[in-house]
Amino acid sequence: MSRRPYVPPRWFIVSAWYVHRALYRGSGGRLGLGRPRNRNHWGTLRLTTVGRRTGQQRSVLLGYFEDGPNLVTLAMNGWGPAEPAWWLNLRSSPEATVELKDGARAVRGRAATGAERNRLWDRWREIDHDLDGFAARRPKETAVVVLEPR
């Protein structure tokens, strides 16, 4: 069984999200996004979905890696128990937009399943060696989300 690595208190995680978003907005998008530096690092993208209740656009900054033309992220909500709102929105309306350091693109989001999920989870494990320990903190399996170009 995997050990359970330290996770900062929820207030700290949420504060970090607000600071990251403020950095992105305050810099006009010049700061806050980044491509993966190499195979052992993840990058940061901005995902914009349509709110399942409001119908309004909602944006969030997420870690990702590239898998061919696809972008791969985890629906982890800071390793908290609830599903992240962006993932619930994406399941309701899979068409979305991502902003990367080098431009925007239209995507369609879906959960990886079966052998594909295992392969992509293993790839995340190469980037984050504590991945299984973090995932064990959640009551449900963490979705591996594939953002395919459309």
pLDDT of the chain along its 150 residues, tens only?
Answer: 456 777 777 777 777 877 878 788 887 777 788 898 888 899 999 999 999 999 999 999 999 999 999 999 999 888 788 899 999 999 999 999 999 999 999 999 999 999 999 999 999 999 988 888 888 888 899 999 999 999
Residue 3 lies in a domain: no
Residue 130 lies in a domain: yes
Domain residues for 84?
A: 10-149
- The pLDDT value recorded for residue 146 is 98
- The pLDDT value recorded for residue 14 is 75
Q: What is the largest CA-CA distance in the chain?
A: 44
pTM score of the predicted model: 0.87
Provide the domain count of the chain. Answer: 1
Residue 5 lies in a domain: no
Residue 4 lies in a domain: no
- The pLDDT value recorded for residue 3 is 60
- The pLDDT value recorded for residue 17 is 72
Residue 50 lies in a domain: yes
Separation between Cα atoms, residue 38 and residue 82, nearest integer Å: 31
DSSP state of 53: T
